[in-house]
Structure 1
Amino acid sequence: MEQVGIKNFYSSYMRAEEEIKKVIIGQDSVIKYVLIGMMAGGNVLLEGMPGLGKTRLIKAIGKVFDLEFSRIQFTPDLMPSDITGAEIIDSSKGNIDFVFKKGPVFSSILLADEINRATPKTQSALLQAMEEKRVTVGNKTYELPDPFFVLATQNPLETEGTYPLPEAQLDRFMFKVNIELPDIEAISAIVDLTTGDDSGEETAVKVLDRESIVKMRKISRSVLVADTVKKMAIDIVSNTYSDKTDIKMVKDYVKCGAGIRAVQSIILSSKVKALIEGRYNVSFEDIKEMAYPSLRHRIFLNFNAFSDKVKEDDIIESLLSRVK
């Protein structure tokens, strides 16, 4: 495998994206943001109705990057040990010993499907894994593979039987990406791909490996960010607080603003975006585009926003129109 350097970061990304698009049709922006999140070392939360290809996407990513993946279907009766694993009694050698049996979290890519179907206690079992890349069970700590990437999906909160994710867990996600129904043309192509003799999944092939992803993540951090560009990201996040801004929409509709992780998310993802466009420095436009997926799950709206049908993206648009 050819070593990944700054000069071929763009070509490596494009090869990976091209392979994934062979099996995921009509979701180009979703693929882009998931790959950016992955290469920036973050986790991604997808929101959308079931049946829009989320599991298929994670399988394709695993195949393209030659990574093992696990899938957990979150349900109200799911227990934390079903995620992390547990110590079990082993008497196979004549003695009674406790042996740790690893859970599905011990994989490079973890698909947490319908994460808001589980109780908050179970949802929080992912917190340490997402932030520290390790799991503690009993009095022992176990390292997770590198890279480790969580792609979680959730149904819209209006859907019956959902538990809103706690703020602490939401903040661990670099991005929140909304998955929409593809257009009619894309749906027709999806039906052709998935109802024929070949399901299409085998058409995606390995183009990179584990070491390449780790190197790409390190390379992205070396991208330059001018002080004025960094200040823009900080100003955007600072203005999400109603008591620290004069932006009317924020004052009227925002209950709680975003924290420092939001700035980190915008900067890190903007660095990757610059590289995949063949640039070695972050632009103001990078900051603006990455603000949407970085902020929409970190801005909490009040009841007035709900009654006036104001969404998080409306607030972000207002922020970007004012912050220069």
Structure 2
Amino acid sequence: MSAREDIIALQARMGESIVGQERMIERLLLGLLADGHLLVEGLPGLAKTRAIKSLARHLDARLSRIQFTPDLLPADITGSDIYISDGGKGEFRFQSGPIFANLILADEVNRAPAKVQAALLEAMEERQVTVGGHTHRLEPLFLVMATQNPIEQEGTYALPEAQMDRFLMHVSVGYPEASAEADIIRLARTEEAAQKVGAAAQSTESKLSPAAIFAAREAIQDITVSTPVERYIVTLVQATRDPARFDDDLKRWIQIGASPRGSIGLDKVARAIAWLRNRDHVTPEDVQAVVHDVFRHRLILSYEAHASGMTADAVIDRLLQRVAVA
């Protein structure tokens, strides 16, 4: 099969065990294809953890789950040097932590203090960790999916803007439709019955090799971005930085706009979704399909926007209305 057929098949297999969250599955795959990290925000029980576990089950990749808590230490993520005595001689040896995996689930990432966030930030940005003055490289296939609960803010630490900017996308997960809810109930019954009879055996399906992901990334590099579409991406980013040129309301709502990582991310994810939709070029519709996920966490709204109940998504909607397609 081609790289695209492999990814489509992977998406279908994940969809068999995750009902009603097709968009989240697509965003998770887009992050994998675009070689970026995801911040996934949603209420408990919306299959966030299940999604990345499903990805690890069908992909030949190792998953580490890190539960972030206020007493977590950087060494709990990165690992540390351990003193080992052997044959009368002692030495320090590095014992790797859970960050040394392919897929990282950073569960409730905003519950850990600043030092832990700094350790995760180095891993996300540099693809390495530094312990005891020595640098250790992470796996070539490396994705962090961090989750946070939008309503429980007691005992949490706001993520620094610098770390937020390192996430390629901020994915918002909502409730499933009523029809999907019924399917979820049926799926839960089936899984419960299988566990009772001991039928929950490991899947015999062959796992997708990481080589297929790397092949897909190479193919995405060849996706064409025309000059008008490139200009559209740049104008969208510029409109967040100088909103007064486009709309008085945007001027009042946006305090700080997207950084250059926003334009780079929008280009990468637009190319990935165009490839996934079997096109060899990016259209304005591809840009519009992913701009909310790429900009949502990069816009800092003003006090006036928060006071009037404006959300980042509503501001981005207004942005799309005011910026003409090139």
Q: Name 2:278's counterpart in structure 1.
A: 278
Q: Extract unaligned runs of 5+ from structure 2.
A: none
Paired with 1:211 and 1:109, the residues of 2 have a C-alpha distance of 15
Candidates 138, 148, 152, aligned match of 1:144: 138
Q: Name 1:259's counterpart in structure 2.
A: 259
Match of 1:240, SS state, is: helix
Q: Does 1:75 align with 2:69?
A: yes
How far off is 1:204 after superposition? 9.0
CA contact (8 A) 1:67 1:210 kept: yes
Q: 1:206 to 1:59 in 2, by over 3 A?
A: farther
Paired with 1:203 and 1:304, the residues of 2 have a C-alpha distance of 53
Aligned amino acid, residue 193 of structure 2 = D
How far off is 1:157 after superposition? 5.8
Match of 1:86, SS state, is: strand
Q: Does 1:168 align with 2:167?
A: no
Q: 1:206 to 1:323 in 2, by over 3 A?
A: farther
How far off is 1:95 after superposition? 1.5
CA contact (8 A) 1:171 1:297 kept: yes
Deviations 1:77-133 (A, max 9, x none): 111111111111111442221111101000000000000111122112111111121
For residues 216-227 of structure 1, the aligned pairs below 5 Å read 216-227=216-227
Paired with 1:290 and 1:204, the residues of 2 have a C-alpha distance of 35
CA contact (8 A) 2:20 2:176 kept: yes
Candidates 4, 21, 24, aligned match of 1:10: 4
Paired with 1:252 and 1:43, the residues of 2 have a C-alpha distance of 30
Q: Name 2:194's counterpart in structure 1.
A: 198
CA contact (8 A) 1:233 1:287 kept: yes
CA contact (8 A) 2:43 2:151 kept: no
Q: Does 1:131 align with 2:96?
A: no
TM-score (norm. length: structure 2):
0.92
Q: Name 1:110's counterpart in structure 2.
A: 104
For residues 201-216 of structure 1, the aligned pairs below 5 Å read 202=202, 205-216=205-216
Q: 1:244 to 1:219 in 2, by over 3 A?
A: farther
Paired with 2:143 and 2:308, the residues of 1 have a C-alpha distance of 36
How far off is 1:278 after superposition? 1.0
Match of 2:125, SS state, is: helix
Q: 1:79 to 1:212 in 2, by over 3 A?
A: same
Q: 1:226 to 1:152 in 2, by over 3 A?
A: same
Aligned amino acid, residue 13 of structure 1 = I
Q: Name 2:293's counterpart in structure 1.
A: 293
Paired with 1:228 and 1:147, the residues of 2 have a C-alpha distance of 33
CA contact (8 A) 1:37 1:175 kept: yes
Q: 1:93 to 1:57 in 2, by over 3 A?
A: farther
Deviations 1:251-303 (A, max 9, x none): 11112111111111111111111111111001111111111100000001122
How far off is 1:155 after superposition? 1.2
Q: How many percent identity over aligned positions?
A: 36
TM-score (norm. length: structure 1):
0.93
Q: Does 1:90 align with 2:84?
A: yes
Aligned amino acid, residue 129 of structure 1 = A
